[in-house]
Each structure stands twice: as C-alpha cells, then as structure tokens.
C-alpha cells in the first residue's frame, strides 16, 4: 500500500502561529450551527463539503514542521469528515458541547469537521474549526458556502491563500520554529494547555425580534450601540457573579471586524481582539458604563491600532519564535478574562434557492479554562447570545438579559 506524503503549503503567520499554540492539543476550537427546513441526506452534505473544501485550501490542512524547523501548514489532501447524529429532542447546545469536547488535533487533517442531525421537519448542520485556520467571521462564510452547495447553486471561484500580514501590508518574517532560540524543547514535548477532563459547556438565550427592536431603539436614543450595551451588561454581570473580580479589574476583550478597513476578501476573517475594557466593582450607573465602553471600543477601530496589534503579536513571536514561548504568552495573558464578540447581522439569507434557512446561531467557542466567551449574532431579526466556558461563570446569560431588560 502506498501512503501519500503531505506537501508543505506555506509557513504560518503571526496570528496563525498564536492560535495554533493556543490550541495545540486540539481542545481550543469553535462550533457554528445552522438549521434548515426538511430532511437533508448525508450523501448530499458530503458532496457539498467536498465542493467547499475544493475552494478553500486551509480547509484541508494540518499543522507540522518543515525540515528546517519552520511552522507550516501541511496538505495531506483528506476530506472533511461528517458525523451523522440520530435526531432527538436534544438542543443544539448539547451537540455543540459534544463537538467542542472532541479535540481537533493540529497534526491531523483537516482542521475542520462537520456533523448533522437530520429529522423529518428540519436538519441542523454543525461545523467545528481549529482556530488556526479560521475565525468566526470566516466560519460564517464557510457555512454559507456549504448551504449554497447544498441548494445546488454554483459556488464562487476558488479563493487565494495568503498570510494575514501579507493581506494587510505588514512585513513580518515567517520565522516561527519548534524550538527556543536558546535551544529549548520542541513543541511535541510541551505541556498541553488543556486536558480532556476539563469539559466545555454551552448555553444560549434568544432575544426575539420585538425585544431586539426595542433595544435598538434605546441604543439609538442614547447614541450608542447594541454591542456596547451587551458588553457593558456582560462586564457588570461577571463582576457581580464571580468572586474572582472582587480584588482586581476584569478585562473584557472585544474582537472588531476590520475587513472593510483593509479591503480583505469576505472569505478571510479579520476580527482582532484589540478593544480591552476594564470593569470594577462600584456604583457606576449602567448608561455611564455603556458610554465608557462605547468610547473605549471606538479607540481601537483604527487602521493604525490594528497594525500595531498585529505587529506587536508578531514582534513578541519573533523575539522568541519557539512554540513553547508562544504557549506561555497565551497562559500569561489569556486566562481569567472574558471575550465578548458580536458578529452583528449574519450574512446569511433566509433562503438559498429551494433551501430554507430557519436558524443560525452565534458560534460557541471553547477557550482557556476560566475564560468566559459570549458571542452575539442577529439572524432574521432576532438576537442569539451564546455563552461558552470551561470552569467559567454560571448564570451569566440570564444576568445579562436581566440587565438589558431592566435598565
């Protein structure tokens, strides 16, 4: 039997290297789900996945090392796997939990997998990604491509692949190795950031179209945004629910979509966690908090700030380009914060040909233990909030909704 050898695609960029180190043992991943009307066959989904994978090279890669020790994407040319799950009354959150608690190991390919739950009235599709090959915005695009292929419509031409630094015009040397500059240990010997015993939990809440319209009206009347309101409510909720923040300030990190600023193609996600808002216990009025959050996030919506952020990450990697040093930076700066990521209105039509898209949720993201991740997304007029955590804060979504409804 002949075993095909993987070819080297290219070296990783700074953010790709960071996320690869972040989830080396395969348990830092995220899942996106969509529900369509009617029963869809497994054969049709497999065929649609093949069409999408053909157009996006990073949907077929694994992570590895070149002969000279450079961190690279490898292309073993394997199809995206599909798991068919028996229909039940189990909510999509429990399926997402199951998918996220199954590692997507970086040495295996591809770094994306699919699952489906087919019933008589509807079919729910799940895509789970290793963060090294996609972010949430790019995942939404991939899901839309999958549904487009399922509908029988033609997909766009194959996309070109390039490092993010190259796309935004930032010169960063592709020098990320598997050993420390001083001769440290190689990545395979590194201590994992996670263990399989630590399980992620996923919870969600829906804010229907009427309630969302009222919140949007309130936001406009106060010259702010839904995003700032949710972020402020998240910060206040965490401070009140989690004793961890009784003696130190909580940092809520907010990814900002910067694709239009850099003219980055739609299939490439460019959302940087660069807006960092501190929260402390105190008597600050809610709307004063919202105003402060709004101003803080606005500081980071600038090209110069984004370039600085990517450049700073790259510089830290180049100062010590070893895999283990990158992992230690993640451990030092990542834990015990929260991430609030708002996808806005999902770029997903409610119908594609004869295919009716009933629902799409904000992604669920498994991260470092202790870190609470809340994702927000609007689809068909309603807003979904999804909370994912490993040993995080219980009751978080209920408190956020309570604050939004009463303030």
Checking if the pLDDT of 264 tops 90, the result is no
Q: What confidence category does residue 226 fall into, taking pLDDT thresholds of 50, 70 and 90? A: very high
Checking if the pLDDT of 186 tops 50, the result is no
What is the per-residue pLDDT for 331? Answer: 65
Checking if the pLDDT of 189 tops 70, the result is no
What is the per-residue pLDDT for 281? Answer: 75
Checking if the pLDDT of 190 tops 60, the result is no
Domains and CATH numbers, the chain: 7-189 (3.30.559.10), 201-406 (3.30.559.30)
Q: What confidence category does residue 291 fall into, taking pLDDT thresholds of 50, 70 and 90? A: very high
Mean pLDDT of the chain: 81
Q: Which of the pair, 11 or 260, is modelled with greater confidence?
A: 11
pTM (two decimals): 0.88
What is the per-residue pLDDT for 333? Answer: 59
Of 110-114, 132-136, 165-169, give the range with the top mean pLDDT: 110-114
What is the per-residue pLDDT for 110? Answer: 92
Q: What confidence category does residue 81 fall into, taking pLDDT thresholds of 50, 70 and 90? A: very high
Q: Which of the pair, 161 or 115, is modelled with greater confidence?
A: 115
Place of tokens 């739609």: 266
Q: Which of the pair, 256 or 396, is modelled with greater confidence?
A: 396
pLDDT tens digit string along 321-372? Answer: 666 777 676 666 555 578 888 888 888 889 988 899 999 999 998 887 888 9
């Amino acid at each position: 039997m002949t075993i095909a050898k993987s070819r080297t695609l290219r070296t990783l960029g700074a953010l790709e290297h960071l996320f690869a180190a972040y989830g080396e043992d395969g348990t830092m991943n995220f899942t996106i789900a969509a529900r369509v009307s009617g029963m869809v066959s497994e054969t049709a989904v497999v065929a649609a996945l093949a069409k999408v994978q053909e157009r996006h090279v990073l949907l077929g890669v694994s992570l590895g090392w070149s002969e000279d020790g450079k961190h690279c994407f490898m292309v073993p040319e394997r199809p995206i796997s599909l798991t068919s799950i028996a229909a039940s009354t189990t909510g999509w959150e429990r399926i997402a939990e199951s998918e996220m608690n199954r590692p997507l190991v970086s040495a295996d390919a591809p770094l994306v997998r699919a699952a489906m739950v087919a019933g008589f009235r509807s079919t729910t599709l799940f895509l789970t990604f290793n963060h090294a090959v996609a972010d949430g915005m790019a995942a939404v695009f991939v899901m839309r491509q999958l549904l487009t292929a399922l509908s029988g419509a033609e997909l766009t031409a194959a996309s070109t692949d390039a490092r993010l630094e190259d796309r935004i015009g930032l010169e960063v040397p592709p020098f990320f190795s598997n050993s420390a500059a001083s001769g440290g240990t190689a990545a395979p010997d590194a201590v994992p950031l996670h263990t399989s015993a630590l399980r992620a939990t996923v919870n969600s809440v829906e804010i229907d179209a009427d309630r969302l319209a009222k919140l949007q009206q309130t936001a406009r009347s106060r010259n702010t945004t839904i995003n700032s309101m949710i972020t402020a409510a998240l910060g206040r909720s965490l401070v009140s629910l989690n004793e961890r923040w009784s003696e130190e300030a909580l940092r809520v990190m907010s990814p900002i979509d910067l694709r239009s600023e850099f003219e980055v193609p739609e299939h490439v996600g460019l959302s940087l966690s660069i807006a960092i808002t501190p929260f402390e216990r105190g008597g600050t009025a809610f709307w004063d908090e919202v105003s402060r959050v709004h101003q803080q996030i606005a500081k980071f919506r600038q090209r110069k700030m984004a370039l600085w952020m990517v450049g700073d990450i790259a510089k830290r990697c180049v100062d010590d380009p070893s895999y283990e040093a990158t992992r230690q930076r993640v451990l030092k700066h990542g834990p015990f914060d929260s991430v609030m990521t708002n996808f806005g209105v999902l770029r997903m039509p409610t119908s594609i040909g004869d295919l009716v898209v009933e629902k799409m949720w904000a992604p669920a993201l498994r991260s470092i233990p202790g870190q609470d991740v809340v994702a927000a997304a609007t689809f068909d007029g309603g807003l979904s909030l999804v909370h994912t955590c490993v040993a995080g804060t219980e009751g978080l979504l209920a408190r956020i909704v309570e604050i939004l409804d009463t303030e």
